[in-house]
Amino acid sequence: MKPFAIEPDDRAFAVARAGVVLASSPSAVSDGSAVEAAGADAWRAVRQLPTTTSTRHLGSVLREAQPSARALSLVLAELARRLAAHPPAAGERIWIAAPAGAERFGLGALLGVARQLALPVDGFVDAAVVSAAALGGTGAAIVVELGLHHVAATLIERDGGPTCRRRSLVSPRGGLWQLYQGWLDLINTAMVRQTRFDALHDAATEQQLFDALPRLARDAMAQGVATAALTTAGERVEVPITRDQLAHAAQPVWREIARLLHELRPAGGALTLLVPRAVAGFPGVREALAQFAGCELVSLPDGFAAAATSLLDLTPRSATEPVRLLRRLPSGAEPALAALALRESAQADAPWLADHAWDTSAETISPWRRVRHRSCVETRHRNCQRIQLEVGAARARPPGAGRPTRGRPGGPGRRPSGWEFRTIQHRESIPQARHRLHGSPAGLPDESRHESSG
C-alpha cells in the first residue's frame, strides 16, 4: 500500500496520496487570540492582523533545538486542520518529506506532534532526494528551496546508482517574505511619489497589495509592465510597475540563491537545477541563474516532493522498529510526475548574460537586444578613438621631445609647440591606425609606437 505523504514546507505545506497533491498552501495560521481559532488559515490576513498570526512557527519547530510551547501548539493545530480536510485512510501509513532546513531534533519535535494526533508515521524522507529520484536521470543536481523566511540548496548525486544527498546549505537571508516585502516597498514608494497615497499606512490596503503580488509578478513577466492597484474609500489608486523594477527589488534574494548554488556546484561540472515553479516565474530569477552556463533548469510544481513520496514502495514499520530518515533512494523516474516538470536551459531567457563576441549582425542579435548591444559597441569605439588619438599625437611629436608631464599652463608640463592631433575614422581599429601612422606591421605591441616617433 502506498503511503500518505506530508510535506511541511512553510511556503507550500502539502499533503498527497497516490501521486496527487490533495492540498498545498502557505503555513500562515491564526494564533487563537482573535476571532479565528488557533491553527486556522490566515494567509489572507497576515498583513492586516500581523500580531495575531504566525508564519514562523513551523520553521521554529523544524530548526530550533528548543522550540517554544506556542510554536509547538500552532504546528499541532495546523496539522490537525489540514488532516481534517484530507484525512489518511484506515491502515494508511504516513511518510513525511523533510525540507532541507529541517534538523534531526526538529524532525523529532515534529514526530512528537504527530504522535499527539495518533498519526502512524513510519519515517521521513529527504524532500530534495525524493524529488530528484522521481525525475530520474544521471549526474549532479541541486534542489533549490524557497521558504517563507529562508532559502536552501541541496546537492544531489545520481551517478548511475542510488540518488543520495551530499550536502545542504540553508540561509536566513532570503525567502518569500523578504521578496514580497521588497516588492511592497517598491510599489508603495511609487504610489507615494505619483499619488501621495501611502498604501502601507493602513493594514487593509497593505493586505490588498500583498494579495495582488503573485498576479502582478505574472503580468509583469508576460507583458513587461503591470498595474498595481487598490481601492480605498471608494477610490481606485493605481501605479504602473515594470518587470525590471520588480527584478531589481528581488536582487537580494536571487543573489543569495546564486551564492548557495556557487558554493555547492562541483567545479567545472554541468548539473541540473531543480527550482519551485512559482520561483522560476518571478522577475529576475532567470537572469540570476543564467550565469550557470550549461546547466539544465527544471521547474517543479508545489507539493512535488509530497507527490513523489506518496508513490514510494516502502516496507511498513513494525511497532518495535525505529522511525527512519531516508537520504538515499533508488533512482527511477516516475513518468506521471516527470511529465509535470518543465525543462529548459538556465540561459534560455537571459542570453545577454552569456558570453558573446560583439557580433553586430542581425542574425546573431535579436531586436530586443540591439539597443543594449549598440550602446556597448559604441562605448568600445569611443575608447578606440581615444587611444587612436594618443597614437596620432605620439606620431606628431617633434624630434627630441619627451613625454609631457602634467603641470600648469606655460610651466614645465606645458604641451610642446609641435604637438598636433589628427582626426581618425570612428570605426578604424587600433592595429589599422598603427599601420597607417607608423608604417609598421599591424601586429606590433603597443610599446613599439614610441620607438619610431621622431
Q: What's the per-residue H, E or C state across 91-131?
A: CCCEEEEECCCCCHHHHHHHHHHHHHCCCCEEEEEEHHHHH
C-alpha cell belonging to residue 216: 502582478
**Pair type for strands 163-171 and 328-329:** antiparallel
Separation between Cα atoms, residue 222 and residue 362, nearest integer Å: 25
End-to-end CA distance of the chain: 93
Among the residue ranges 158-172, 278-292, 322-336, 350-364, the one predicted with the least confidence is 350-364
Residue 108's alpha-carbon distances to 68, 285, 323, in angstroms, are: 14, 34, 10
**334-341 average pLDDT score:** 91
Beta-strand pair 342-345/296-300: antiparallel
Task: Give the model's pLDDT for residue 218.
Answer: 94
pTM of structure: 0.76
Lowest mean pLDDT among 18-27, 158-167, 263-272, 306-315: 263-272
Torsion-angle region of 216 (φ positive above 0: left; ψ -120 to 50: alpha; else: beta): alpha
Q: What are phi and psi of 155, to 5 degrees?
A: -85, 125
Compute how many other C-beta atoms are within 10 angstroms of the C-beta atom of residue 357.
5
- Residue 382 clears pLDDT 90, i.e. is over it: no
Q: Kindly indicate the confidence band of residue 44, based on its pLDDT and cuts at 50, 70 and 90.
A: very high
Nine cell digits for residue 277: 515553479
Q: For residue 6, what are the β-bridge partners?
A: 15, 96
Buried b (16+ CB within 10 A) or exposed e, 168-206: bbbeeebbbbbbbebbbebbbbbbeeeeebebbeeeebb
Q: How confident is the model at residue 444 (pLDDT cuts 50, 70, 90)?
A: very low
* Strand partners of residue 146: 151
Judge contact between 440 and 452, C-beta under 8 A. Answer: yes
d(CA 206, CA 249): 18
Name the DSSP class of 2: P
Q: Is 263 exposed, middle or buried (0-12, 13-18, 19+ CB in 10 A)?
A: exposed
Q: Give per-residue pLDDT as tens, 104-141.
A: 999 999 999 999 999 999 999 999 999 999 998 888 99
Cell of 330: 533508488
pLDDT at 399: 53
Domain boundaries, the chain: 4-175+250-352, 367-450
Cell 481534517 belongs to which residue? Answer: 84
Q: What is the DSSP letter of 193?
A: H
In this model, does residue 367 exceed pLDDT 70? Answer: no
Bridge partner list, 328? 164
Q: Which of 8-17, 329-338, 406-415 has the highest mean pLDDT?
A: 8-17
- Cα dihedral value 163, 165, 169, 172, nearest 10: 80
